[in-house]
Amino acid sequence: MRKEVWIPRLLIAVSVLFIGVMLVLPLVVVLAEAFSSGLDAFLRAVTDPYTLKALRLTLTATVAAVLINTLFGLTAAWAVTRFSFRGKGILSTLIDIPFAVSPVIAGLVFILIFGRISPLHPFLDAHDIKVVFAEPGIILATVFVTFPFVARELIPTLEARGTDEEQAAALMGAGFVTIFRRVTFPHIRWALLYSVILCAARAMGEFGAVSVVSGHLRGKTNTLSLHVEILYSEYQFTAAFAVSAILAAGAVLMLTARNIVEYLAHKEDDFNVR
Amino acid sequence: MYVELKNINKAFGDVHASRNVGFGIARGVLAALLGPSGSGKTTILRMIAGLERPDSGDIFIDGARVNDVAPGRRGIGFVFQNYALFRYMTVFDNIAFGLTVQKEPAAAVRRKVLELLSLVGMEGMEKRYPAQLSGGQKQRVAFARALAPNPKLLLLDEPFAAIDAKVRKELRAWLRDMIHRLGVTGIFVTHDQDDAVETADEIIVTNNGRIEQKGSPQMLYKAPATPFVTSFIGSSAPLENYRRLKGFENGSGAATGAVRPEFIKIYKEVDGITYENSVEEAVVEDTAFRGTYWEVSLKIKNMTLPARYSLEKAPIAAGDKVKALVYRLYAFDGDNVTLLENRNLDTHNGANRYSI
């Protein structure tokens, strides 16, 4: 057989094998282990009060991270693409810090800023404000780690669209809110939704930074991923995998949503960019 | 003057986009800002619109200084080079945008939009999206959208640049007619002299951030004020020393200039020449068919000069020896240009038989 026929087949086989072993197999194992002691054991682990508390905290942190990062991601993307100012290049680079820095370091930084050794600590203590080893710390860590998603997705989109339409609207007397709502937002809505989904997926599964600021107080500062670790280290394998299954299901849901958004955005682009 | 610029300066870093720019445009006039790319013409347009701020100088619209007036409050309609139509709005919503921003009642908006659509010849297209329109149609929509809030001044940035040649000619006439019918004042930017000459009442020639000359197309053509305008408007060839040509021997100092092909007459047969003492011996170097005439390259006294030759006359070809009469040329003196008539012809009853 000719060589040209083998190359695509080989590449496809390698890809399928690799993805199967490295990505799909673990997912299957998680589900298999979760149900290995029967449905009852699975339900018991999933409806355990500590699990539910962890789920609630994970959802709180995720929603907070999505809201905060959407707002500030939009602001940063707008500032970088629509205005010219000193230090713009640096700001644009700084946005990527969370991708470059290990999440553990991010967690440590928050401990330094808000923990016992911080000069802020007496003030926080006097006003009974708890940041680290409490929910605000978890939210802060999640926000930090997921910040780049929205801004990074929106900057190229805003750049590609240019400012002409916004200038045209401004020349007709439209104010900032009208311009954003009627002219800019329709351009970026799919990119925004897409980045929100990625941001949420990442926020749900965040472990490193959250682990440092959490303090692992069961039922208080445990997120789902931290809860999995605790269960696992206590040899409660079925429960650990059952809780993991919740996270895995969340991830699959996010991936599906992402694909639907991608499909819809492409369909609209095909129409509008002709 | 309806629009007036006084001593405008503007720099982008090291690039001086405007140097002491000043001009005025009367009410109801369609003016063209014409110049090569990078000459600062678009910057001038954007400063009038308020999209750029001049570093110094004043801009007046209808007698009021508008330097500190926001773009949306200057009463200006602006047509962008790529039209900048709102991609996610229908043609109707595009045109209605400026009116809804001003909180006009829906019925009035609808009436005005339909009226504008019929004005630009796009009835029945209101439900389309910009992506479903051709270049010419987009331009018409952009034009209607700019006119919707009843501006007194319409600014257009390279309005014909994205249009193919055939539709372009049609649109030039359409734009000129429309501006005059509506009675608004218009300024458009172009780098294409045909756009400017065929469309504008007045042309402002820009070069290197400066205004070279302002005047009617005919005036710019007949009496260019600077060597740049001479070469930019119409076609011309530079002359290193025009005193070597018969009839232009007088004078002293620098003798650089330019000559247009229309200023040279070619004779194939010797008879019929009125001014034998002025004709030059010429060799045809090259001919090119231009549809309605021959473009001829002539060698006269070691200079290569352009000329035109009628299709009706006996044909000529490269290598032919012919007679040529240069009856007019432009003499350059620094930045000034003077029109020189062939001295040998002037004496003939004082009348010029070779008007352009």
What residue has token string 């200006």? B76
Q: Do A172 and B149 touch (CB under 8 A)?
A: yes
Cβ distance A168 to B84 less than 8 Å, yes or no, reads: yes
Helices then strands, counting H and E runs in chain B, come out as 9, 19
- Chain B residues lying within 8 Å of A164, measured CB to CB: 80, 82, 84
Query: Which of the four pLDDT bands, split at 50, 70 and 90, describes residue B215?
Result: very high
pLDDT in tens, B310-349: 888 888 888 888 888 888 889 898 888 888 888 877 655 4
Q: Residues A264-268: what's their mean pLDDT?
A: 82
Pair of tokens at residue A96: 């990527």
Separation between Cα atoms, residue A79 and residue B179, nearest integer Å: 38
| Tens-place pLDDT, residues B225-274 | 999 999 998 888 888 888 888 888 776 667 889 999 999 888 877 666 66
Largest CA distance in chain B: 78
Of residues B49, B73, B80, nearest to A164 (C-beta): B80
Burial class (CB in 10 A: 0-12, 13-18, 19+), B335: exposed
Report which DSSP code applies to A147: T
What does the pLDDT read at residue A143?
A: 94
Whether B82 and A164 lie within 8 Å, measured CB to CB: yes
| B97 vs A167, A169, A272: nearest CB | A169
| C-beta separation of A43 from A239 below 8 A | no
Cβ atoms B213, B225 nearer than 8 A: yes
Choose among A170, A174, A186: nearest Cβ to B88: A186
Query: A178 to chain B: which residues are within 8 Å by CB?
Result: 101
For A150-188, what is each residue's pLDDT tens digit?
999 999 999 988 889 999 999 998 999 999 999 999 989
- Apex B177 CA angle, B176 and B181, nearest 5: 120
CA distance B340 to B276: 19
- Best CA proximity match to B284, nearest among B268, B269, B299, B304: B299
Confidence of residue B351 (pLDDT cuts 50, 70, 90): very low
Distance CA B282, CA B323 (A): 6
Q: Which residues of chain A neighbour B50 with C-beta distances below 8 Å?
A: 171
A217 burial level (CB within 10 Å; 0-12, 13-18, 19+): exposed
Q: What is the pLDDT of residue B345?
A: 75
B86 contacts A182? CB cut-off 8 A: yes
Q: What's the mean pLDDT in B294-309?
A: 89
Task: Give the list of residues 6+ apart from residue A93 with CB closer than 8 angstroms, or none.
Answer: none
Q: Quote the CA–CA distance of A114 and B255 in Å, as a whole number.
A: 82
pLDDT value of position B270? 63
The per-residue pLDDT for B166 is: 81
B87 touching A (Cβ < 8 Å): yes
C-beta contacts of B348-351 below 8 A and 24+ residues apart: B348/B274, B348/B275
A224/B274 Cα distance (integer angstroms):
105
Listing DSSP states for B233-283 in one string gives SS--EEES-GGGSTT-----S---EEE-GGGEEEESSSTT-S-TTT-EEEE
Chain A residues inside the 8 Å CB shell of B98: 172-173
Q: Do B98 and A173 touch (CB under 8 A)?
A: yes
- Compute the Cα dihedral for A154, A156, A159, A160 and give only its sign: negative
- pLDDT for the residue B291: 87
B259: β partners: B237
Contacts of A84 in chain B (CB under 8 A): none
Helix ranges (H only) for chain B are: 41-49, 91-101, 106-119, 135-147, 165-182, 193-199, 217-222, 227-232, 343-346
A172 contacts B101? CB cut-off 8 A = yes
What DSSP character marks residue A173?
T
Residue B112's pLDDT band (cuts 50, 70, 90): very high
Average confidence score pLDDT of chain B: 88
Contacts with A186 from chain B: Cβ below 8 Å: 87-88
N- to C-terminal Cα separation, chain A: 42
Q: Does B133 touch chain A (CB under 8 A)?
A: no
Q: Which two tokens stand for residue B31?
A: 């003016």
Q: How far apart are CA B128 and CA B144, in angstroms?
A: 15
- Contact across the interface for B86 and A169, Cβ inside 8 Å: yes
Three-state secondary-structure class, residue B70: coil
State residue B160's pLDDT score.
87
Does the CA dihedral A209-A211-A213-A218 come out positive or negative? positive
Does B166 reach chain A within 8 Å, measured CB to CB?
Answer: no
pLDDT at A1: 56
Chain A interface disruption, residue of B80, B129, B147, B158, most A CBs within 10 A: B80
Q: B154, exposed or middle or buried, with CB in 10 Å at 0-12, 13-18, 19+?
A: buried
- Distance in angstroms (rounded) separating the CA atoms of residues A55 and A60: 9
CA distance B96 to B101: 9
C-alpha span between A226 and A242 (Å, rounded): 14
Q: For B116-132, write each residue's pLDDT tens digit.
A: 999 888 999 999 999 99
Structure token pair of residue B2: 């309806």
The separation between CA B201 and the C-alpha centre of its own chain, rounded to angstroms, equals 10
Residues on chain B touching A183 (C-beta within 8 angstroms)? 86
pLDDT computed for residue B356 by the predictor: 36
Give the CA radius of gyration of chain A: 23
Between chains, do B80 and A170 touch, taking CB under 8 Å as contact? no
Q: What is the pLDDT of residues A211-235, one digit of tens each?
A: 998 887 777 888 999 999 999 999 9
Q: Convert the pLDDT of each residue in B85-98 to its tens digit.
A: 999 999 999 999 99
How far from the centroid of its chain's Cα atoms is residue A53's Cα?
20
Closest to A29 in 3D by CA, of A264, A237, A258: A237
pLDDT, residue B271, reads 60
Pairwise CA distance, residues B101 & B116, whole Å? 17
Res. A273 pLDDT band, cuts 50 70 90: low
pLDDT of residue B349: 45
